Amino acid sequence: MVKKKFSTKVIHSGHGSDNETGAVMPPIHLSSTFKQNKPGDFQYEYARTKNPSRDILEKLLASIESGKQAFAFSSGMAAINTVCDLFGENYHVICSDDVYGGTRRLFDKVKTNIDVTYVDFDTNVNWDDIVNDRTKFVWAETPSNPLMKIIDIKNTAEIAHGFKLPVICDNTFASPYNQRPLELGADLVVSSSTKYLGGHSDIVGGSIVIKDQDLYGEKIAYLQNAVGAIPSPFDCYLLTRSIKTLSVRMQKHNENGEKIAGFLESHPKITKIHYPGTDQKYKSIASKQMSGFGGMMSVVLDTNLEGVNTFLSNLKIFTLAESLGGVESLIEHPAIMTHASIDKKIRDSLGISDSLLRLSVGIEDVEDIIEDLKQALETI
């Protein structure tokens, strides 16, 4: 059997040509229900429980994340909510301090029966002080949103496993092209497949991929079916199609990201840039566990909120919008947009100021992206 490398996996994993028709792309199975040979004798029963289009996608996701089993969801938040439900209720979580605003909102304001300790993994963490008998898992988002912090996944997993705690890694900003947490010791990997996996800003989805099928597989499948936050067959098809170009897209995102970061790092109106490829604090760890630095970065402008709005209104190629990882360049204001649900005191303590902007660098010609940023910066 030929051992497939990553760029071959994204194209061929999960399916071959259709057995019935020979179609190279798998058909979309829109049926909500399926014929049973006799009661309880079936391959597929009901589309919420299992669907051929979702089966193909989940096999593909498991392959590219180096996991044993994958589960597709209707959004990244549905996937994170399922992880929380997987561990029951009335428990404690250790979470990296800089995470997506929606993750904090879920942990702090929706899941009111769990306690969360937010940890700055840049510091010398005393695990004996924060782990207790109610602690169920460690949540690590790396690179983080929006400050692009890098957590050493292998080191964190080794420590957490010493306390018999699983590590769950949000891999959205990296994508499995640049980073595969399960290969580094993580136990579950979660992604918003809306982002780099989808890559075209036209679907919403999420995924959980697990290393140990026997330990978590049955329970996650039960929750996926019982709650029903599953993607439509058409969204499964779109995501399967989009993943086929993940490698070539990520190569360009990585290339453009490094060039844009280099331009912004030396610009007099940028006071700070958060990007793994230029941040000396994180570059060595990122280089060790990532194959590329991606197209995500955040910058602090040397101006106030009025100046930030002036800059944003003068951009021509960048679109002011939430989300990320699409082929087009997007920019957003975390304090007002993606992280507005986080209390201002917490935002301020993390460094999510009114002058901070998050960029998702697309795959346009990099000279055009640089020129767009340059002319807009000249207006402040």
Active-site residue, selected from the candidate residues 91, 100, 216, 237? 100
Please state, as a whole number, how many other Cβ atoms lie within 10 Å of the Cβ of residue 184. 20
Q: Which are the contacts of 30, defined by CB distance < 8 A and separation ≥ 6?
A: 233, 234
User: Out of 4, 48, 252, 272, which one is annotated catalytic?
Assistant: 48
Rounded to whole angstroms, the Cα distance separating 177 from 180 reads: 7
Q: Please, are residues 254 and 367 in contact by the beta-carbon 8 Å criterion?
A: no
From 54, 104, 180, 195, the catalytic residue: 195
48 part of the active site: yes
DSSP letters, 154-197, are HHHHHHHHHTT--EEEE-TTTHHHH--GGGGT-SEEEE-TTTTT
Which of 340, 339, 320 shows the shortest CA–CA distance to 330? 320
Helix (H, G, I), strand (E, B) or coil at 30: coil
**Catalytic hit among 98, 170, 187, 235:** 170
CA–CA gap between residue 360 and residue 339 (Å, rounded): 16
Q: Is 170 a catalytic residue?
A: yes
CB-side neighbour CA atoms (13 Å) of 216:
25
195 is catalytic: yes
296-301, strands of its sheet edge to edge? 270-274, 296-301, 356-360, 330-332, 319-320
Distance in angstroms (rounded) separating the CA atoms of residues 155 and 68: 22
Is residue 9 flagged as an active site residue? Answer: no
Alpha helix (H) residue ranges in 266-325: 280-289, 305-313
The helices-and-strands tally (H runs, E runs) of the chain is: 14, 12
Q: Which two tokens stand for residue 113?
A: 């029966």
**Both tokens assigned to 130:** 């924060």
The 3-state DSSP class for residue 322 equals coil
Residue 84 host element (H or E): helix 76-86
Gap between the Cα atoms of 250 and 196, Å rounded: 8
Q: Is 34 helix (H, G, I), strand (E, B) or coil?
A: coil
Tokens representing 338? 């993606």
- Classify 319 as helix, strand or coil: strand
Is the distance from CB of 330 to CB of 319 less than 8 angstroms? Answer: yes
Q: Which residues are catalytic?
A: 48, 100, 170, 195
